[in-house]
Structure 1
Amino acid sequence: MPKKVITNKVLCYVVREGRLLVFRHVDFSFEEVGIQVPGGSVRPGEDPADAALREAREETGLTGFAVVRKRGEIEYDISPLRFEIQCRHVFELALRGAMPERWASREDHDGEQEPTRCECFWIPLRAAHVLQAGQGALVGRLFD
């Protein structure tokens, strides 16, 4: 049996005033994609911290992010969706400057696919356990 592909991903936990920054894809049902924190792929040769900042900007449309600290790494087997193990680099980010309560955003995916329409918003940190599989428990461990 072939070995699973290992990919590097980042997860960005942006906490401000006791709330967590999340988003949802508006072109898909909640049941399909849930609520997510910003995150995505680390590009070849890219430092994971730089990838975290880039992904947070791309998915929210906001600037002013800064890395507070790297919280760790977790491996996440996404089978059967893909024959892949993701090495997820988990970062806590800060957001400086004014912040809206809720806003629309678009992620262009480097032109590789159609832009994704997103709705970004803040949820109370204790409610963060509604995140997609594999992430909610991590939020609880990091910030409770």
Structure 2
Amino acid sequence: MAPARKNTDFYMLAASAAAFLYFIFIAIPYGDSHNFFSEASVPEGNQVWPYFLLTTPALILYLIFIFKWIRRIHFLRWLNYPVIIFNVNFIFLICLSAFNGGTVFWLIFITGPVSLLLTGIFFTIGLIKDLKFLRAAKEQK
């Protein structure tokens, strides 16, 4: 009898959703209230360090979680891989705004197409791996 494996597929989706919601509801409103997303003004100098501490440790924890658990995903790769690519790109740009303010959004024009291309590629890779997993599970029955 095979040992029961933990369902990391849904854990990874839940962690990605939690990281995204943290930045949407906590980090972005804080940064917006202190001019981190305005190109017309510089972020308040005394708020850079608290914003950095609000965003960067969350990104580091998310990356550690991803690198630790990504090999354990066996199904739902078609959904997990693109969500991870989007989250890392989005969260990284939010963290960069601690130093550059709203000017970091010009990086979106550069990294946006690359991120979309990577999202499509990893969606396809995940879909192929999921189909192989389903075929193997079907043949095993």
TM-score clears 0.5: no
Computing the radius of gyration over CA atoms, which structure comes out larger, 1 or 2?
2
Superposition TM-score, scaled by structure 2 size? 0.21
More helix by share: 2
The TM-score with structure 1 as length reference comes to 0.21
